[in-house]
Each structure stands twice: as C-alpha cells, then as structure tokens.
Structure 1
Amino acid sequence: MEITNKNVINRLKRTEGQVRGIQKMIEEEKDCMSIMTQLSAVRSSIDRVMGLVVAENLKACLENPDTNPEEQAKRLEQAINMIIKK
C-alpha cells in the first residue's frame, strides 16, 4: 500500500472520532475499563500513523538520497529514533 497524505488524514480523522467518543464516555461516566480500552485503541492508532509517516520518510531518504552523506545519515538516524522512541 502506498502511503499518501490522504491515507494519513483519514486515519487521523478516525482517531479524532475515537477521541470524541472517549470524551462522551467520560461525560456519561462510563466505567473506567471501557474508557481505558478506548484510550488504548487511540494510542495504537496514533502509533500506527507515526509508523506510516516515519516509514514514508525512510522511503524518501532511500529513494532520493541527500547529496550530503552526513545529512542523509542524520535524517535516517532521526527517523529510526522516532520509530524506537517509546
């Protein structure tokens, strides 16, 4: 699957809807475990979006290398750090 801005925006919109749902659950004083389950789903969704964006960045780095090898290495290191940062 090719990652496009539209794909990322659609995923973020779904996540936005999940967050609104959580707000409503809190307003309606739903049970803690249900809210935590939904919060976990939102976190997973955001992690997935981050992974897609970083993957696209890595792909761009590899397909269009920087003319400066040091700058290229820096960009790749930043992308990798974003993936492993948790």
Structure 2
Amino acid sequence: MEYTYSEDMKRRLKRIEGQVRGVLRLMEEGKPCKEVVCQLSAVRNAADKAMAQMVAENLQQCILEEQEQGGDTGKLVQEAVELLVKCR
C-alpha cells in the first residue's frame, strides 16, 4: 500500500518547521523562558493536530481498501486510536 500525503499536510508541517525556527530565534535573542515555552507549546499543539489529521486521512483510505477486501474495519480503527494514544 502506498501512502499519499495531501498538500495541506505538507503545508502544515512547513508551518511547524517555521514555528520551530521562531523558537530558536527567541532563544538566540535571549527572550524570557515564558515566551519560549509558550511558543514550544504552540509547536506541540500544531504537531498533535497534524498527526491526528494524518491518521484520519490515511484511516479513510485504509478503511475503503479493507471494505473492498471484505475485511474487519473495526480493527483498523482500533489500531489508529492506539497509534494516537501511544505517540502522545
């Protein structure tokens, strides 16, 4: 199975990359810890949302393929949930 990633997903990750560069810039400028931590929190939230979106998009594709083969889609959903919980 070949996975495809949407342009939206790639844009999300590029935005996160920019946020990380912004955090480094804050550190290099000697900004207060509170500012750096707030920006890191924003990076974490963006990454969490990107992971959830990625799993959701690929789960749809996997479910359609599994249904075509007459397989158990419930197992796929359970695996997706476990993946999100494990990676948190």
Q: TM-score range by the shorter chain?
A: 0.7 to 0.9
Contact 1:65–1:72 (Cα < 8 Å) also in 2: no
**Matches for 1:1-86 after TM superposition, within 5 Å:** 5-65=6-66, 67=69, 69=71, 73=75, 75-85=76-86, 86=88
Give the ranges of 4+ consecutive aligned residues of structure 1 lying more than 6 Å apart after TM superposition. none
Contact 1:61–1:72 (Cα < 8 Å) also in 2: no
Gaps of 5+ in 1: none
Q: TM-score, normalised by structure 1?
A: 0.80
Gaps of 5+ in 2: none
Contact 1:19–1:42 (Cα < 8 Å) also in 2: yes
Give CA-to-partner distance per residue, 1:38-60, whole Å, 9 cap, x none.
Answer: 00000000001100110012211
Percent identity of paired positions between Structure 1 and Structure 2: 37
**1:76 aligned partner, one-letter code:** V
**2:11 aligned partner, one-letter code:** N
Q: TM-score, normalised by structure 2?
A: 0.79
Task: Choose 34-43 or 58-67, whichever is displaced more.
Answer: 58-67
- How many residue pairs align between the two structures? 82
The CA RMSD measured in Å over matched residues stands at 2.1
Contact 1:58–1:79 (Cα < 8 Å) also in 2: yes
